[in-house]
Chains A and B, each alone.
Chain A
Amino acid sequence: MSYQDPAEMKIDPPKRSFWRNLSLIWLVPLFAVVISLGIAWQTFAARGVQIEIVFDNASGVTPGETIIRFRDVRIGTVEDVQFTPDLSQVLVTASIDRAVADTLPEDARFWVVQPEVSARGITGLSTVLSGVYIETSFTPTSGAAARSFTGTAAAPLVREGQEGTRITLRTREANRVSEGAPILFRGIEVGHIEAPRLILSGESVVFDAFIEAPHDRRLTTATRFWDTSGFSVSFGASGLSLNVGNLAALLTGGIAFDTVFSGGEPLNPGYVFDLFPDEASARQSLFRSVGANAVEMSIEFEGSVSGLEVGAPVQYRGLRVGEVRAIGAVLAEDADRPEVRLLTTVALDPQAIGLPAEAGAEPLIRFLEDAVAQGLRARLSTSSLFSAALIIELAELPVDEVAPAELERRENGMAVLPSIASDLPDFTATAEGVLERINALPIEELMNQAVRLMASVEMVVSSEGSRQAPDEALALIRDIRGLVGGEDAQALPGELRAGLADLRGMVEELRLRDAVDRLMDVLDNVETVTANTATASEDFPELVEDLRTLVARASGVEVEELAAAASRVLNSADQLIGSDEMRQLPPALARALDEVQQVLADLREGEAVENVNRTLASARSAADAVAEAMNSLPGLTQRLDRLVDQADGLIASYGSRSDFNSEAMQVMREFRETARAVTQLARTIERNPNSLLLGR
């Protein structure tokens, strides 16, 4: 019935198993699942580890945007910013890369990097555009895995892992050195200072500093640090010298160091360096430090210790072995009547004398006992020719010349070094002698003689008999008058004074010698002229006698002696330098510099400039107003003048003098007076516009 094959239609192939039936195409979704899971896992793994950082202030930190960097590489992101429960601090939650988080130690430091402009430069400029980020610094410690940290306000000066040496510096005052101040080695910045802190006893200030590698290799026990902050002014034998460090050091203070002698030992941990106020004192301090293991002892002086200051050096054979710690007075009990003795406490460094570094007090005292027996005495002496400052010298005197004495040990453990009267009075006596000799110089007498001579000569010359006197005599008179009235002679005392004032004085001395030479020349002339005159006119023995004595006196003033006296004068100039006024000078300078520093500080705060600008602006506008007023003043004057002239004319034409006229004239005169006063004012202002401002 049909072509179709029904059997074919009914073919029902054996059902294949589900798995056999499965197409390979199912690998595709399997693959997709695997990929998706992979992505999910990767995200989960990269999600990082949550850490918490507590900041006082999290300015600019934004959840989801602020990143956390370690060595400037991103290691995480801030996820949340909240307050601590008491709202006192900010709790920043961040997720950190898992690998990094596992090595985070407890002491990892976190700080917010912001743009900052300081004396040390501009930092964090990139954050202006990108927003702040949190920087961290730590030494990776595997397995540490700390999770909560306390953030710091500012970047630590030393990054973890930075090569270098951390040292401790000690000083009395840290007012010139601030945190972050640079440490310079030959002018190159090699380290930083951290915040100064007082040691517990409050006696000195200690701060940590960090010297970067490889410069830290230069540190030995022979290294000295000194303060290069701001300006330093020294006034001494070499004159006035002003030292200014680099700009950063000017603003934040700075410290320089150098190894001042060879043979220093490597540093032990915990070694403390002393910070010296200036390079000179740093280089002079050839012993380690007074104070580390110094031994204190006392010295009693009988005379005045004026000029001795705390910190003054104690020298032994010219070497600084200690310093003065305190100066006080005690009442000596053993005398018949109470006697005030000046007790000076000094600190002596055993090492500086040559004893072992850690010798302690006993060997030093034993050494000094022996030395005292051999004639060692303490005495005051001047530190230098140009300074009135005193130092203590441990002088070794011949035993037979000094009264026997011994090192006295007091009950309180303080040893007392015997002292002898110093040779200071001799010095004063010398200076007085110089002055006396200068006084004794017959300069005034010489001048008087010369004046008398001149009067005599003039009398001779003006007298009829000498009309025919040779021209030589006239020339002589001119010479003498030139000498006496001339600037050289007039200025002679002035020059002497100049010589006193002038430190060097050599030029003055020479000039002085010149003047005397010329005087001698003139006097020689006088002698020959006198001889001539004597032969020419024997009527004037008196004059001749005067001249003779004058010449004799002049010869009596020997040039060498004068020069020597002048040099003594110069010595007395030292005295002057040591005098109060001159001593006031450096403090005055220091004060001025302090003020400059103050101004710099104000400048640092940024307001001073504005104030100054404002002041200047107002001053300028005031000056402009004054100038304007001044310009109008002459016009006013002229108008007044004109008015007066017109009035004068009017009155003159009015008629003869009457009461009215005279009164009017009076008024006119007053007008004129006023006009003149106005003119005067105008001129004054024209000459000196400041006067209006300053009131002078």
Chain B
Amino acid sequence: MSAPEGLVPPPTLTARAAGLVGCHSCGRVHEKGADICTRCGTALHSRMPNSLQRVWAWLFAGIVVYIPANIYPMLQTSSLGRTTESTIMGGVVELVEYGSIGVALIVFVASVLIPVGKFVAIGYLALVVRPGSRWRKGTGFHGRQHLFEVVEFIGRWSMIDVFVVAILSALVQLDFAATINPGIAAVSFSLSVAFTMLAAQSFDPRLIWDVEEAKAV
């Protein structure tokens, strides 16, 4: 506590309130006003600049490329001269028809549920931390923080579909007998996942708490 005595401290003392800036990279604490970390040379920001803009931009890009990822075929399977193309949802439906409900569930969760959930979650967080937002009812600060952590953690697992496609494409190249090639959707989908992960990374979780601070003040 660097605040002088006699003052009523705010409910939560933040580094910013305390006039301190933490380095993103190495975590070293600097006095406010320092621009460059004295240890690792990273630019210092109390809050990431344009954090919300970045979030929105990446999120938007992710949503945009998620559309072709669902429209276009993910896999091109050629077997004995017959070529079949399957989209993500088409594959899920096919799997259900074949009775592999478990696999279908995994694919559905990894390829549809998680990405869409991420869009919603990141969008919600970005909306909620805006000053004067009307969306902040319902979840507490801790809930938002947890939501963010889950989003950041789970983001990479969406790539499971892309991995499957990549491995199949690499393994099943038996010329005429059977060949599997990735479709356009594979690229779109991996881009979408990458964009949403970047969006999640661009989100500065400190913004969640700034709201509380602002409210307190």
Contact = CB atoms under 8 A, between A and B. Distances in A.
B119 interface: no
B164 interface: no
Contacts, number: 56
B7 A2 contact: yes
B72 A29 contact: no
A43 interface: yes
A35 interface: yes
Contacts of B62: 32
Contacts of B65: 32, 35-36
Given A2-B7, A31-B61, A36-B67, A25 B50 contact: yes
Given A36-B64, A39-B68, A28 B57 contact: yes
Q: Which of A32, A40, A130 has the most CB of B within 10 A?
A: A32
Interface in B31-78: 50, 53-54, 57-58, 60-62, 64-65, 67-68, 72
Interface residues of B, number: 25
Given A31-B61, A39-B68, A25 B191 contact: no
B57 A29 contact: yes
Contact of B80 (A21, A26, A130): A130
B191 A32 contact: yes
Given A39-B72, A65-B82, A130-B82, A32 B61 contact: yes
B68 A26 contact: no
Contacts of A2: 7
Given A3-B4, A23-B54, A25-B57, A129 B64 contact: no
A130 B81 CA distance: 5
A526 to B, nearest CB: 96
Classify chain A: how many residues form its interface, as a range: 20 to 34
A35 B68 CA distance: 10
A674 B82 CA distance: 77
B57 A129 contact: no
B94 to A, nearest CB: 15
B64 A32 contact: yes
A77 to B, nearest CB: 10
Contacts of B68: 36, 39-40
B57 A39 contact: no
Contacts of A39: 68, 72, 184, 188
Nearest to A130: B81
Interface string A76-103: 0000000000000000000000000000
A131 interface: yes
B81 A28 contact: no
B7 to A, nearest CB: 7
Interface string B190-212: 01000100000010000000000
Nearest to A126: B81
Contacts of B67: 36
B195 A23 contact: no
30 contacts: A2-B7, A21-B53, A23-B50, A23-B53, A25-B50, A25-B53, A25-B54, A28-B57, A28-B61, A29-B60, A29-B61, A31-B61, A32-B60, A32-B61, A32-B64, A32-B191, A32-B195, A35-B65, A36-B65, A36-B67, A36-B68, A36-B188, A39-B72, A39-B188, A40-B68, A43-B72, A129-B81, A129-B176, A130-B82, A131-B81
Closest 8 CB pairs of A and B: A130-B81, A29-B61, A32-B61, A29-B60, A25-B57, A32-B64, A23-B50, A23-B53
